[in-house]
Amino acid sequence: MKYTCPNCKKPLANRARPKCLYCDKPVPAELLFSPIERRTREQKLSQERQQYELHDRQISQLKETTAKRWWQFWRS
């Protein structure tokens, strides 16, 4: 289903916002996310954020453990 603004007929870029991003007019409630959709969307986003944070921590730990530079490996 395509969600478009009834005022300017452009696609709704963000169904979580109560106003259209293009014409700044109110969007009808039936076109916005339902409370269940909002909850599942927020849960998914928080899981993705946790995965990114874990990945960043792992990368920073790897950087700390590898003290040698790339040219120093050739000398060993």
Supply the Cα-derived Rg of the chain in whole angstroms.
23
pLDDT of 48 > 90? The answer is yes
pLDDT of residue 52: 97
Quick: pLDDT tens for 2-33. Answer: 899 999 999 998 899 999 999 999 999 999 99
- Please state, as a whole number, how many other Cβ atoms lie within 10 Å of the Cβ of residue 43: 10
Look at the pTM and tell me if it is higher than 0.85. Answer: no
Neighbours of 38 (CB within 10 A): 13
pLDDT tens by residue, 52-74: 999 999 998 887 776 666 666 66
Return the amino acid letter for 4: T
Q: What is the pLDDT of residue 70?
A: 64
Give the span between the Cα atoms of 26 and 6, in whole angstroms: 10
